[in-house]
Copies of this chain bind each other. A is one copy, B any other.
Amino acid sequence: METASQLLQAFEKYLSQLHFPQQPQNLYAPIRYSLQVGGKRIRPLACILAAQLYSDEVAEVFPVAAAYEVFHNFTLLHDDLMDDSDVRRNMPSVPKKFGINAAILSGDRMLIAAYELLSVCNASVLPELLIIFNRTAAQVCEGQQMDMDFENSTTISLRDYVEMIRLKTAVLLAACLESGALVAGDTQNIGKSLYEMGVALGVGFQLQDDYLDCYGNEQFGKPIGKDIVNGKKTYLYLHCLANLTEKDRIDFLDIYQNNAIAEAEKIEKILAYFQKTDTQAATWKIAESYFKQAENILQDNINIAYIRKEPLSQLIKQLQQRSV
């Protein structure tokens, strides 16, 4: 059994050797850029580790893992367009570097490339693989739409928010796990449990993302309170809002939606409201509960030798323990 880091290295090599035509250059250069800029490759790793539950021969699952990674990068291209984001992974975003039309069309081409990668899979699993992938891709669009709708809404519940992040990010990780097992044969029929584990892990990861924006480790260079400065409706924001008195709520909203106020002052004032409502602890607690749920599903519902499950357990811990 290879380690996660060996598997990631092999996968990175596979990904770098994917063939895209040279021409038209304006179509394919943004795709190469997007895939080379990197990222943590969490989704393909999850896919590969799920396949490894069954077999040491996991190269067969690389095209599917790559399909999910290419799909994920496609969503980043179009999200950066819709959110007007200039920076992605500390580099210029594709719309910023190549222009709006390049981001639209290269994104489209990447979505098609994801399906090209799926299509090389064994015909016996292809129909089911497509069902999982299509359903997931549709849900990711729905989650992104909910996220955009939330920007103009004043009545988002915590439950709505968790549903949004489930669709926008968690189901993709879940589908990676389910698909990895499917391609590897899934003789134990654990696909559904892996999927549930992935949803819990993905929701936990995203809630933690909100948490770390305010309470992360600044020493790694990530500024604290970016979401507050941008007035983003995070779990912290919604939890705080739901637990303030009527009067405080009006003041809190005044500050949170105010772009004219100095950044440091805005962050300080909002953090005080978070403290008043015990928002830090509540967010930590709910994120932890999702990580715990993921680990429980892995240990209790997935009837595979522990040694084969260990790398997935490590992945959960690794995501849970990040500080940026």
Residues in A lying within 8 Å of B, measured CB to CB: 21, 23-24, 26-27, 78, 81-82, 101, 104-105, 107-109, 111-113, 115-116, 118-119, 123, 126-127, 130-131, 134, 137-138, 141-142, 144-146, 148-149
Contact = CB atoms under 8 A, between A and B. Distances in A.
Nearest to A83: B101
A21 B143 CA distance: 13
Contacts of A109: 138, 141
15 contacts: A24-B146, A27-B141, A81-B101, A82-B101, A82-B104, A105-B145, A107-B108, A108-B108, A109-B138, A109-B141, A112-B138, A116-B138, A119-B131, A119-B134, A123-B123
A81 B24 CA distance: 20
A146 to B, nearest CB: 6
Nearest to A118: B130
A68 to B, nearest CB: 14
Contacts of A149: 24, 26
Among all A-B residue pairs, the 10 with the closest Cβ atoms: A27-B145, A24-B145, A119-B130, A109-B141, A82-B101, A112-B137, A116-B134, A123-B127, A112-B138, A115-B134
Contacts of A126: 123, 126-127, 130
A115 B131 CA distance: 9
A101 to B, nearest CB: 5
A64 B105 CA distance: 23
A142 B78 contact: no
Contacts of A112: 111, 134, 137-138, 141
B145 A26 contact: yes
A144 B108 CA distance: 11
Contacts of A131: 119
A78 B146 CA distance: 21
Contacts of A105: 78, 82, 141, 144-145, 148
A133 B145 CA distance: 27
A146 B23 CA distance: 9
A179 to B, nearest CB: 14
A15 B57 CA distance: 44
